[in-house]
């Protein structure tokens, strides 16, 4: 009966209204979609015309405060707004004057005297003085601020005990304003990398007076980094911060080197999906992406895409081996594992994007540091070591677990090595995959056997890598320690001669690679899209950019 | 009816309390905390930060303090976004999600309802089949496939619209279409089913026998009853569309609450997770309440008891 009623309906239903509604809807929809349907001038085209750089910075910045931020994207933001004391020349990385016009280094390498430029100004027009730098360092070292990277400043004499609350008198710390233009810095030990380290956000001066005008400068959460309140010293000033959308910085009228700055503004976009970011680049919304999805790298290489950019980076992917867990307490077994990793296959065949095999932990990008030979692929030696340990062909060895976090690239690497160890050493290797932060929790609890991870340099020196394996390091997590290693590391810290110091550090690296609580796998690269209109884009291997040297030039 | 609403609202208080309690303790038992990161913090610094947020106190006291705060309408500071409060973040992101949801709902209803009615009225015609095919495609193709496809076509190849961001009016088009069309497919199938059932009822035949025009029968007599299943579906759907558009917000880089919620879970931003959960729970409760009221209004067989 129901069907019949409907049949009747079908036949007699010839009136227009409903069809009309339907057609109208379609029409409206079509008109709505078509309202903007011309090929428009893209953001990039407009940016090229108006001198506006569109740059992606990965995830949403947690803040714009140079003292509390930790991420690479946030560092980019800081680099647009806060000037370092000393900058670098793109390409050669030679130190060049920034806030400091010149500097003297004492013969023992312990005292640095910076002469600030007389025209250095804050964006509110007030002069930037040596006392401002001292106040800024006092702020980051004040315990109540809880600054993540305050320990970078332990290089200053007395800074550690001030920061750990053992001493509340900041005049004991090795940073003194001799006069308005002269800043004298005393270090705990010679550090040839000190000038380069000054590029880090935590060393860049902030204006403590301006922060105090908004709230307590020595506590977290003072909202001074908002447009209209943020006072900075760099080539650009904050104009807009639309959370999860973009940060807009515009050319600063008070910047001492404003004549050199050729960009009128930089728009920085937090885009937490690298796929969405790649589409935004292709539709002309971005000049520079943060990273390229793995699946897009090979096609871009094949097509010789002129926008594809591969920068060498100070980042090493490596295994931590937990020496407290059987069977990895046996150095022979650890070494066997290390020698059975075919790094050429991993870096050359499995991973695209110019990544290179890592027989050592310190990337080969440092001038003056000659790394040791490291762990060279040698199956015969690996099998022999395993046999010496009483486990020829893996006999009697329990399964070994590789822990890694949810990431496409890490999964590829872990699977490849699982296969290598199984095929060549006869081991039963299992893969355990955990969420990003859960991996850190397991790592801290020592709840893993083999852990896949990476380490990124904080400054251009071997110690940023080698300090990890000191007994007192908070990032060691392997349970491995060796007094001989600590002694070498301490000795290097007392040496003022860079060449002799580098040789001692290389000895230390050889020691840790020999004992193999770590197995370096490959040196990472930064793979991204860079629009051909962007000129002068030459970040350092620690991803610092000096925006003074960047400009836009639209092609014909 | 007011008594009904008042009673339902009162019932939400214990519901919310249970949800807050469960979430509060669950996030604490998840491995990793808001301040764990690749580079481990020295213990002295970690202690300073934890003291700042009151995380050094016993868990039960933190819980009691939090409840007190929530009762005063303060959802606390965000742990990840150091100078923002949860209230501020929700105040910024919720309107965006609501706007996206509003447009999507409009698309869903504007497409789903007429097509559903049409398919029911012209049952087994080519039109019906065409609608079924479109509907099945809409249901089967997830938004994380449809979204990028739209973005490729209209943004990358034709360059009519931006593929990401939420700046100008035109930026609303792709996300609203993607999300709206996915729901339109469901609405269409439900409208069709509801209409078919009603069109076979005796009172429709009576109306027809009295000589009412077909348009009047459909729009005046059948539609009200035919929409019942759609309305029942709309309650959870509206809540979902308003709040659960995380995928769309990620695909098109929209600064909405859904995206923020997922990021907060990954970064273990305890207060932001809790604040968002409280908000979502409230929204769902309210949406269901509105649906219950609408159903009574549409269906003469139901009453507020």
Question: Which pLDDT does position A176 carry in this prediction?
Answer: 95
Question: Which pLDDT does position A116 carry in this prediction?
Answer: 97
Rounded CA gap, A389 and A152, in Å?
A: 41
Query: What is the residue-averaged pLDDT of chain B?
Result: 86
pLDDT confidence tier of residue B88, bands split at 50, 70 and 90: very high
Question: Which pLDDT does position A15 carry in this prediction?
Answer: 37
Residue of B nearest to A405 (CA): B38
Chain B residues near residue A283 by CB distance under 8 angstroms? 151, 155-156, 159, 162-163
pLDDT at A23 over 80: no
Token pair of A140, please? 């980051």
Question: Which pLDDT does position A25 carry in this prediction?
Answer: 52
pLDDT at B293 over 50: yes
Q: List pLDDT tens digits, range B187-243.
A: 898 889 888 888 888 888 888 888 878 888 888 788 888 888 888 888 778 877 776
Chain B residues near residue A12 by CB distance under 8 angstroms? 214
- Ranges A23-32, A83-92, A547-556, B296-305, most confident: A83-92
Say if the Cβ atoms of A12 and B214 lie within 8 Å. Answer: yes
pLDDT confidence tier of residue A10, bands split at 50, 70 and 90: very low
Q: What is the ipTM of this complex?
A: 0.84
CA distance A455 to chain B (A): 8
Q: List pLDDT tens digits, range B170-185.
A: 888 899 988 898 888 8
Rounded CA gap, A207 and A229, in Å?
A: 11
Q: List pLDDT tens digits, range A120-141.
A: 999 999 999 999 999 999 999 9
Residue of B nearest to A406 (CA): B266
Rounded CA gap, A119 and A136, in Å?
A: 19
Question: Which pLDDT does position A55 carry in this prediction?
Answer: 95
Q: List pLDDT tens digits, range B227-272.
A: 888 888 887 788 777 765 788 888 898 998 888 888 898 889 999 9
Contacts of A493 (CB under 8 A, 6+ apart): A189, A190, A463
Most A-contacting residue of B56, B159, B203, B263 (CB-CB within 10 A), to test interface: B159
Query: What is the residue-averaged pLDDT of chain A?
Result: 90
Q: Would you list the domain boundaries of chain B?
A: 89-298
Question: Which pLDDT does position B144 carry in this prediction?
Answer: 86
Question: Which pLDDT does position A34 carry in this prediction?
Answer: 54
Q: Among A3, A21, A275, select the one facing B114 at the smallest CB separation.
A: A21
Residue of B nearest to A9 (CA): B121
Say if the Cβ atoms of A244 and B260 lie within 8 Å. Answer: yes
pLDDT confidence tier of residue B66, bands split at 50, 70 and 90: very high
Say if the Cβ atoms of B266 and A437 lie within 8 Å. Answer: yes
Please answer whether residues A265 and A236 qualify as being in contact, where contact means their C-beta atoms are separated by less than 8 angstroms.
yes
Say if the Cβ atoms of A2 and B200 lie within 8 Å. Answer: yes
**Fold of the domain built from segment(s) B89-298:** MetI-like fold (1.10.3720)
Q: Could you give the angle at the alpha carbon of A218 between the alpha carbons of A217 and A220, nearest 5°?
A: 90
Say if the Cβ atoms of B30 and A285 lie within 8 Å. Answer: no
pLDDT at B303 over 80: no
Question: Which pLDDT does position A103 carry in this prediction?
Answer: 97
Beta strands in A392-509 (DSSP E): 400-405, 429-434, 450-456
Please answer whether residues B179 and B241 qualify as being in contact, where contact means their C-beta atoms are separated by less than 8 angstroms.
yes
Q: List pLDDT tens digits, range A395-409.
A: 889 999 999 998 889
Place of tokens 């930790």: A70
Say if the Cβ atoms of B93 and A244 lie within 8 Å. Answer: yes
A165 at interface of B, judged by CB pairs closer than 8 A = yes
User: Of A432-441, A447-456, A476-485, B137-146, which gets the smallest average pLDDT?
Assistant: B137-146
Q: List pLDDT tens digits, range A225-249.
A: 999 999 999 999 999 999 889 999 9
Residue window 245-274, chain A: list those with CB within 8 Å of chain B. Answer: 245-246, 269, 271-273
Average pLDDT of the segment spanning A514-531: 96
Residue of A nearest to B50 (CA): A146
Q: What's the pTM?
A: 0.87
Q: Among A17, A62, A276, select the one facing B215 at the smallest CB separation.
A: A17
**Paired strand residues for A17:** none
CA distance B40 to chain A (A): 6
Contacts of A59 (CB under 8 A, 6+ apart): A71, A73, A270, A272, B263
Residue window 39-68, chain A: list those with CB within 8 Å of chain B. Answer: 39-40, 42-43, 59-60, 62-63, 65, 68
Question: Which pLDDT does position A448 carry in this prediction?
Answer: 95
Say if the Cβ atoms of A25 and B31 lie within 8 Å. Answer: no
Q: Among A276, A285, A474, select the one facing B40 at the smallest CB separation.
A: A474
User: Of A38-47, A539-548, B146-155, which gets the smallest average pLDDT?
Assistant: A38-47
Place of tokens 């991803």: A543
pLDDT confidence tier of residue A8, bands split at 50, 70 and 90: very low
Please answer whether residues A110 and A259 qualify as being in contact, where contact means their C-beta atoms are separated by less than 8 angstroms.
no
Average pLDDT of the segment spanning A379-408: 92
Most A-contacting residue of B43, B81, B83, B223 (CB-CB within 10 A), to test interface: B83
Say if the Cβ atoms of A1 and B200 lie within 8 Å. Answer: yes
Query: At A145, which helix (H) or strand (E)?
Result: none
Say if the Cβ atoms of B118 and A18 lie within 8 Å. Answer: yes
pLDDT at B122 over 50: yes
A142 at interface of B, judged by CB pairs closer than 8 A = no
Average pLDDT of the segment spanning B112-124: 88
Most B-contacting residue of A43, A73, A221 (CB-CB within 10 A), to test interface: A221
Chain A residues near residue B218 by CB distance under 8 angstroms? 13, 18
Chain B residues near residue A202 by CB distance under 8 angstroms? none
Say if the Cβ atoms of A285 and B200 lie within 8 Å. Answer: no
Pairing of strands A265-269, A52-56: parallel
Average pLDDT of the segment spanning A459-488: 94
Average pLDDT of the segment spanning A462-488: 94
Most A-contacting residue of B114, B143, B181 (CB-CB within 10 A), to test interface: B114
Say if the Cβ atoms of B83 and A63 lie within 8 Å. Answer: yes
Q: Among A18, A148, A150, select the one facing B218 at the smallest CB separation.
A: A18
Pairing of strands A450-456, A400-405: parallel
User: Of A105-119, A483-497, B125-139, which gets the smallest average pLDDT?
Assistant: B125-139
Q: List pLDDT tens digits, range B43-60.
A: 888 888 888 888 999 999
Q: Among A65, A285, A437, select the one facing B36 at the smallest CB separation.
A: A437
pLDDT at A12 over 80: no
Question: Which pLDDT does position A38 carry in this prediction?
Answer: 56
**DSSP single-letter state for residue A414:** H
Sheet of strand A265-269, all strands in order from the earlier edge strand to the far edge:
A52-56, A265-269, A246-251, A236-242
Average pLDDT of the segment spanning A484-507: 94
Rounded CA gap, A152 and A381, in Å?
A: 40
Q: List pLDDT tens digits, range A278-335.
A: 999 999 999 999 999 988 999 999 999 999 999 999 999 999 999 999 899 999 999 9
Q: List pLDDT tens digits, range A27-76.
A: 555 555 555 455 678 899 999 999 999 999 988 999 999 999 988 889 99
Question: Which pLDDT does position A18 carry in this prediction?
Answer: 43
Chain A residues near residue B197 by CB distance under 8 angstroms? 2
pLDDT confidence tier of residue A6, bands split at 50, 70 and 90: very low
Question: Which pLDDT does position B35 carry in this prediction?
Answer: 86
Question: Reduced to 3 states, what is the DSSP secondary structure of residue A402?
Answer: strand
A406 at interface of B, judged by CB pairs closer than 8 A = no
pLDDT at A9 over 50: no
């Amino acid at each position: 009966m129901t069907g019949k009623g409907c049949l009747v309906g079908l036949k007699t239903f010839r009136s227009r209204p409903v069809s009309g509604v339907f057609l109208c809807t379609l029409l409206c929809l079509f008109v709505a979609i078509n309202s903007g349907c011309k090929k428009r001038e893209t953001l990039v085209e407009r940016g090229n015309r108006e001198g506006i750089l569109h740059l992606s910075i990965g995830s949403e910045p947690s803040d714009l405060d140079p003292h509390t931020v930790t991420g690479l994207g946030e560092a980019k933001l800081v680099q647009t707004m806060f000037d370092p004391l000393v900058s670098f020349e793109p390409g050669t990385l030679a130190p060049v004057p920034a806030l400091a016009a010149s500097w003297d280094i004492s013969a023992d390498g312990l005292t640095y005297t910076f002469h600030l430029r007389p025209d250095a100004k804050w964006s509110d027009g007030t002069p930037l003085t040596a006392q401002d730098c001292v106040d800024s360092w006092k702020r980051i070292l004040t315990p109540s601020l809880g600054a993540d990277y305050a320990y970078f400043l332990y290089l200053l004499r007395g800074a550690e005990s001030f920061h750990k609350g053992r001493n509340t008198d900041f005049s004991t710390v090795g940073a003194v304003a001799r006069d308005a233009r002269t800043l004298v810095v005393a270090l705990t030990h010679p550090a040839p990398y000190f000038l380069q380290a000054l590029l880090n956000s935590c060393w860049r001066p902030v204006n403590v007076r301006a922060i105090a005008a908004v709230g307590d400068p020595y506590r977290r959460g003072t909202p001074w980094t908002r447009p209209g309140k943020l006072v900075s010293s760099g080539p650009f000033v904050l104009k807009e911060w639309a959370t999860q959308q973009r940060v807009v910085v515009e050319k600063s009228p008070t910047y001492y080197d404003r004549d050199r700055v050729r960009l009128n503004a930089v728009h920085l976009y937090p885009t937490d999906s690298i796929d969405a970011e790649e589409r935004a680049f292709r539709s002309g919304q971005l000049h520079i992406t943060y990273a390229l999805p793995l699946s897009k790298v090979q096609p871009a290489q094949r097509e010789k895409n002129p926008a594809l950019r591969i920068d060498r980076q100070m980042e090493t992917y490596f295994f931590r081996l937990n020496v407290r867990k059987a069977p990895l307490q046996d150095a022979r077994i650890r070494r066997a594992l290390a020698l059975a990793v075919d790094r050429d296959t991993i870096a050359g065949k499995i991973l695209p994007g110019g990544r290179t095999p890592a027989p050592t932990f310190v990337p080969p990008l440092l001038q003056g540091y000659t790394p040791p030979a490291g762990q060279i692929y040698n199956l015969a030696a690996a099998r022999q070591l395993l046999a010496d340990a009483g486990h020829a062909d893996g006999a009697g060895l329990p399964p070994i677990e590789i822990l890694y976090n949810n990431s496409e690239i890490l999964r590829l690497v872990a699977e490849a090595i699982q296969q290598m160890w199984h095929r060549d050493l006869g081991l039963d290797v299992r893969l355990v995959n955990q969420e990003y932060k859960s991996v850190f929790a397991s790592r801290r609890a020592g709840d893993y056997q083999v852990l896949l991870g990476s380490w990124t340099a904080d400054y251009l020196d071997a110690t940023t890598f080698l300090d990890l394996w000191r007994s007192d390091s908070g990032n060691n997590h392997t349970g491995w320690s060796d007094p001989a290693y600590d002694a070498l590391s301490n000795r290097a810290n007392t040496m003022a001669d860079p060449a002799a110091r580098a040789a001692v550090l290389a000895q230390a690296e050889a020691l840790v690679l020999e004992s193999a609580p770590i197995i370096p796998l490959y040196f990472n690269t930064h793979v991204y899209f860079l629009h051909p209109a962007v000129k002068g884009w030459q970040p350092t291997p620690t991803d610092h950019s000096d925006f003074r040297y960047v400009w836009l030039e639209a092609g014909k | 009816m007011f008594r009904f609403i008042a009673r339902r609202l009162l019932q939400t208080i214990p519901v919310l309390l249970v949800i807050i309690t469960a979430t509060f303790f669950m996030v604490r038992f998840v491995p990793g905390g808001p301040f764990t990161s690749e580079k481990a913090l020295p213990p002295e610094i970690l202690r300073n930060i934890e003291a700042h947020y009151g995380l050094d106190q016993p868990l039960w006291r933190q819980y009691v303090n939090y409840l007190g705060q929530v009762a005063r309408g303060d959802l606390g500071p965000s742990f990840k976004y150091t100078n923002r409060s949860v209230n501020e973040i929700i105040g910024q992101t919720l309107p965006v999600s609501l706007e996206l949801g509003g447009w999507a709902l409009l698309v869903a209803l504007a497409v789903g309802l007429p097509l559903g009615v049409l398919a029911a009225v012209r049952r087994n015609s080519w039109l019906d089949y065409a609608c079924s095919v479109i509907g099945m495609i809409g249901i089967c193709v997830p938004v994380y496939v449809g979204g990028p496809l739209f973005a490729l076509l209209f943004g990358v190849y034709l360059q009519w619209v931006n593929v990401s961001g939420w700046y100008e009016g035109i930026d609303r088009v792709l996300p609203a279409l993607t999300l709206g069309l996915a729901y339109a497919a469901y609405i269409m199938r439900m409208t069709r089913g509801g209409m078919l059932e009603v069109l076979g009822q005796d009172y429709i035949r009576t109306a027809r026998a009295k000589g009412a025009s077909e348009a009047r029968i459909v729009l005046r007599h059948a539609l009200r009853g035919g929409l019942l299943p759609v309305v029942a579906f709309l309650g959870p759907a509206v809540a979902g569309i308003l709040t659960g558009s995380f995928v769309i917000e990620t695909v098109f880089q929209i600064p909405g609450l859904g995206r923020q919620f997922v990021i907060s879970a990954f970064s273990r931003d305890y207060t932001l997770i809790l604040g968002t959960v409280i908000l979502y729970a409230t929204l769902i409760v309210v949406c269901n309440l509105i649906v219950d009221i609408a159903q009574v209004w549409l269906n003469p067989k139901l009453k507020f008891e």
